[in-house]
Amino acid sequence: MKILAYTDHHGSPDELKEVAEKVKKADIIICAGDFTIFEHEVEFIMHQMNNLSKKTLLIHGNHEAEETTNLLSKHFKNIKFLHKKAYETNGYLFLGYGGGGFATIEPEFEEQSKEFKKLMKRKKTILITHGPPYGTKLDIMGGGHVGNKSFTKFIKEAQPDLFICGHLHERFHTKDKIGKTILINPGPDGEIIEI
């Protein structure tokens, strides 16, 4: 499966244009949040995302409200809001957890991860969060680690095949690994990831 993943384009027409140019190479699209600047023109931007004409799995970032993103996504046939949800297609399982990006520990995610683990049995699994996992190349800022320890714990225990996040603009197009799990911050212009 070829995934077009992107994050943090904050409504930039240029970045979305670059994403659109890569769509033909992808089977599915993932947006890891912060697709607006504090929800400015949120409906218009989601309309543009829907017009990419491929299934888009979307989580909210720290610039979008969960409620707004969830409500609006119901009006677009190509957008699936994935926060605290799972989506399965062709033997691939996509799990999403949006929002935040600033907490070191996320008790709500830890509770949700119990359900995620039950769904993962022998399936190719892709986990999408907005914030990065702690202690990786994806969460370095100002010389230290600023990521989420709850995400790192889940990755170490459950070993999804792929982890996609955003939030830290300084880490765009950065890759790392925890065990067998490939970690990627695909940046606002997106990356094609084959899994």
The pair phi, psi for residue 192, each rounded to 5°, is -90, 125
Residue 114, Ramachandran bin (φ over 0: left; ψ between -120 and 50: alpha; else beta) = alpha
DSSP state of 189: T
pLDDT for 175-191, tens place per residue? Answer: 999 999 999 999 999 99
Sort 93 into a burial class: Cβ within 10 Å, 0-12 / 13-18 / 19+. buried
pLDDT at residue 90, as a whole number: 94
Residue 126, classed as helix, strand or coil, is: strand
pLDDT at residue 183, as a whole number: 99
Homologous superfamily of domain range 2-194: Metallo-dependent phosphatases (3.60.21.10)
pLDDT for 143-167, tens place per residue? Answer: 999 999 999 999 999 999 999 999 9
Task: Assess contact for 52 and 25: CB atoms under 8 A.
Answer: no
Task: Assess contact for 2 and 100: CB atoms under 8 A.
Answer: no
Task: Tell me how far apart the alpha carbons of residues 115 and 117 are, in angstroms, rounded to a whole number.
Answer: 5
Q: What's the whole-number average pLDDT of the chain? A: 98
pLDDT for 23-55, tens place per residue? Answer: 999 999 999 999 999 999 999 999 999 999 999
DSSP state of 132: P
Residue from 167, 176, 103 nearest 137 by CA: 176
pLDDT at residue 122, as a whole number: 82
pLDDT for 107-140, tens place per residue? Answer: 999 999 999 999 998 899 999 999 999 999 999 9
pLDDT at residue 59, as a whole number: 99
pLDDT at residue 118, as a whole number: 96
pLDDT at residue 138, as a whole number: 98
Task: Tell me how far apart the alpha carbons of residues 34 and 49 are, in angstroms, rounded to a whole number.
Answer: 13
Report strand pairing: 162-164 vs 181-185.
parallel
Q: In b/e form, how buried is each residue of 69-79, taking b as 16+ CB within 10 angstroms?
A: bbebbeebebb
pLDDT for 11-29, tens place per residue? Answer: 999 999 999 999 999 999 9
Residues composing the chain = 195
